Amino acid sequence: MPQIPWQPKPENETAAVWRYRQNPIIGRNGNAVSNSVFNSAVVPFQDGFAGVFRCDSKSISMDIFAGFSADGIHWKIDDTPIRMYCDNQEIAQREYRYDPRVCKIDDTYYVTWCNGYHGPTIGLAKTQDFKTFTQLENAFLPYNRNGVLFPRKINGNYMMMSRPSDTGHTKFGDIFVSESPDLEYWGRHRFMMGTVEGDASAWQSTKIGPGPVPIETSEGWLLIYHGVINTCNGFVYRMGAALLDLNEPWKVLYRSKCYILAPQELYECVGDVPNVVFPCATLCDSETGRIAIYYGCADTVTGLAFTTVQELVSSLKNNSL
Ligand code: BMA
**SS3 track for 174-227:** CEEEEEECCCCCCEEEEEEECCCCCCCCHHHCCEEEECCCCEEECCEEEEEEEE
Which atom of ligand 1 approaches the CA of 99 most closely? 9
- Of 165, 169, 171, 270, which is best to mutate to test ligand 1, by the most ligand atoms within 8 angstroms of its C-beta? 169
**Ligand 1 cavity residues, CB under 6 Å:** 39, 98-99, 169, 237, 273, 276, 278, 296, 299
* Minimum CA distance residue for ligand 1 atom 1: 169
Helix (H) or strand (E) holding 311: helix 309-317
Average pLDDT, the chain: 97
pLDDT range class, residue 198, cuts 50, 70, 90: confident
Which atom of ligand 1 approaches the CA of 38 most closely? 10
| Range 256-281 average pLDDT | 98
**Residue 2 confidence (pLDDT):** 85
**Residue 9 confidence (pLDDT):** 97
Of all residues in the chain, what percent carry a pLDDT higher than 90? 97
164-181 pLDDT, tens digit each: 999 999 999 999 999 999
**Burial classification of residue 243, based on how many CB atoms lie within 10 Å of its CB (0-12 exposed, 13-18 middle, 19 or more buried):** buried
Instruction: With a cut of 90, say whether residue 22 has pLDDT above it.
Output: yes
* Minimum CA distance residue for ligand 1 atom 10: 299
Query: Which residues on neighbouring strands pair with residue 126, listed in sequence order?
Result: 110, 134
Counting every residue, how long is the chain? 321
Three-state secondary structure along 12-56?
CCCCCCEECCCCCCECCCCCCCEEEEEEEEEEEECCEEEEEEEEE
| Cα 99 to ligand 1 centre (Å) | 8
CATH architecture of 28-317: 5 Propeller (2.115)
Q: How far is CA 308 from the centre of its chain?
A: 18
pLDDT range class, residue 102, cuts 50, 70, 90: very high
Instruction: With a cut of 80, say whether residue 319 has pLDDT above it.
Output: yes
Of all residues in the chain, what percent carry a pLDDT higher than 70? 100
Cβ(99)–Cβ(115) below 8 Å = no
| Cα 274 to ligand 1 centre (Å) | 11
Which atom of ligand 1 approaches the CA of 170 most closely? 7
As a whole number of angstroms, the distance between CA 28 and CA 148 comes to 25
As a whole number of angstroms, the distance between CA 102 and CA 213 comes to 8
| Range 273-294 average pLDDT | 98
**Residue 1 confidence (pLDDT):** 75
Cβ neighbors of 202 (< 8 A, separation 6 or more) are: 196, 229
| Global pTM exceeds 0.95 | yes
Burial 122-161 (b: 16+ CB within 10 A, else e): bbbbbbeebeebebbbbbbebbbbbbbbbbeebeebbbbb
Q: How far is CA 215 from the centre of its chain?
A: 12
Instruction: With a cut of 90, say whether residue 54 has pLDDT above it.
Output: yes
Instruction: With a cut of 90, say whether residue 192 has pLDDT above it.
Output: yes
* Minimum CA distance residue for ligand 1 atom 2: 99
